[in-house]
A and B are shown apart, each in its own frame.
Chain A
C-alpha cells in the first residue's frame, strides 16, 4: 500500500488562474481532508469529504472547492489564484466507519503562484 498519494508534486501558476490538485486515499479509507500549510505555519484545515459530500469546512473562501469520487479519491480546486495561495497543500485520509478517524497524510503538492 503506497499510502496517501497526491499529484502533482509541484505546480507553478499565475495570479487569476485556476488549479486542480488530486489525492488518492490510503487503501480502505473513505474520508479525505485537505489542509493548506503556508511557510513557517502549521497545516490549516480547508474541508473534509465523506460519501462524496463536503462534511466540514474551515475558514476558506468559496474560491476553494472540492470533490470526492465514488472510489474515495478527491480533488481540490482553487479559482482566481492569489499570491497568498502559495503553499503546500496536504491531503489526509481516514476511515470514518469503525470510529478510529486517525488521519494519514500525503506528501503534499507545492503550489507557487506568481
Chain B
C-alpha cells in the first residue's frame, strides 16, 4: 500500500539555522512527490513538486528513490517559514489522488 511518513510532529529551530523536514514514502512504482504548506489561517498550498526541481522561498527537495525519501531543506530558516508542512505522493498516473503524510509543524523563533 502507498504510504507517506513524516516522522517529526514538531520541528523547532532558531532563525538562521538550517532546516530539514523529513519525508519517507512507500510505493513500488514511480511516484510524484510534493510538499504542501499551510500558513496560519491560510489554505493548503503547493510549495514544491519533485519533477520541477526548483527552489521556492529558499526550499529545495530531492527525490531519493534508493532511500524512498523526499526531504525538504532550507539552509537558513526565517520566522515567516513557521507553518505546517505536508509531504504528499501521487501515483505516476495523471489525475490520481494525493496521499498525504500527517504533517510537521515548523516553528522558527528569533
Where the two chains meet, the residues of A that have a C-beta atom closer than 8 Å to any C-beta of B are: 3-4, 31, 33, 35, 40-45, 48, 50, 55-56, 58, 90, 92, 94, 96, 99, 101-108
Contact = CB atoms under 8 A, between A and B. Distances in A.
Interface of B: 4, 43-46, 49, 86, 88, 90, 94-103
A94 B90 CA distance: 14
A48 B99 CA distance: 13
A4 B44 CA distance: 11
A109 to B, nearest CB: 12
B94 A101 contact: yes
B46 to A, nearest CB: 6
Contacts of A4: 43
A102 B46 contact: yes
A90 B46 contact: no
Contacts of A108: 43
Given A105-B45, A108-B43, A33 B97 contact: yes
A102 B43 CA distance: 15
B98 A55 contact: no
B97 A58 contact: yes
B95 A42 contact: no
B100 A43 contact: yes
Q: Give the 8 A-B CB pairs with smallest separation, nearest first.
A: A42-B100, A45-B97, A105-B44, A107-B43, A43-B100, A42-B102, A105-B43, A42-B101
Given A90-B44, A103-B46, A108-B43, A42 B103 contact: yes
A105 B86 CA distance: 13
17 contacts: A3-B43, A31-B95, A40-B102, A41-B102, A42-B100, A42-B103, A43-B86, A43-B98, A43-B100, A45-B97, A48-B95, A56-B96, A96-B95, A101-B95, A103-B46, A105-B43, A107-B43
